[in-house]
Homo-oligomer: A and B are copies of this chain.
Amino acid sequence: MKFACLLYEDMTSLDLIGPLEVFGSVPGAEFVYASPSSEEVSGGQVSAERTGLALGPAMHFDEVSSADVLLIPGGTGSRELTRHEPLLEWIRDIDRTTTWTTSVCTGALLLAAAGLLDGRRATTHWAEFEHLAKLGALPVHERVVRDDKFVTAAGVSAGIDMGLVLVGEMFGELLAQAIQLGIEYDPEPPFDTGSPDRAPTEMVEMVRAAATAND
């Protein structure tokens, strides 16, 4: 089973790594990393936002023509890519070959900009619901949203939940449950502020302003 993951400058590393850690335990899983930068320019690497962590080995997306699962992570770098027509065309092309097309956080904006979420239920980071709606999708406040073969996750950490839900769909719940045990996913968030529904309004507005500064 071939997983193609989009890598790009100023992506959010956890958007990728959450589901990737889950998919990594699928028997026979293979991974390819595709990027809008050519290998000569990027050295086959992209830098994640904030931490400067380099991720790779990224080949140019032109070199990746099919996948069973497409995974599009989010990040501040996703904003300008919503206008990168060759990348959007690649997303449409590869989607024709996939069994599942997935995103985490603002990765959904790229799927929507490519036209793949037109009229479909989807989710993204809570601060980007209007943006997602403007791009033609029907935003839904759920952690993981499935519409046909399109599986979108809410902000950043939701990719772990999405990965487990998808492995359950693909291979049955026993494997997904065993992976959940293997990564000891028994979360204990220290605060009750992970959702805008429960965080203080002032905090929500501050985080929204920071999250949407590049829109």
Interface residues of A (CB under 8 A from B): 12-14, 17-18, 20-21, 23-25, 29, 31, 33, 45, 49-57, 105, 125-126, 143-144, 154-158, 160-161, 164-165, 168, 173-174, 176-178, 180-191, 193-196, 198-199, 203-204, 206-207, 210-211
User: B157 touching A187 by the CB < 8 A rule?
Assistant: yes
Contact flag A182-B211 (CB < 8 Å), given A13-B17, A177-B203:
yes
Distance between A193 CB and nearest chain B CB, rounded to angstroms: 4
Q: How far is the CB of A140 from chain B (nearest CB, A)?
A: 14
Copies in the complex: 2
Expressed in whole angstroms, the minimum distance between the Cβ of A73 and any Cβ of chain B is 11
Contact residues in B for A180 (Cβ distance below 8 Å): 189-191, 193-194
Contact status of A156 and B183, CB under 8 A, knowing A17-B17, A25-B50: yes
Hey, which chain B residues are within 8 Å of A14, CB to CB? Answer: 17-18, 20-21, 183
Task: Point out the residue from B21, B156, B191 that lies within 8 Å of A176, measured CB to CB.
Answer: B191
Q: Which of A29, A125, A160, A196 has the most CB of B within 10 A?
A: A160
- A205 CB to nearest chain B CB (Å): 11
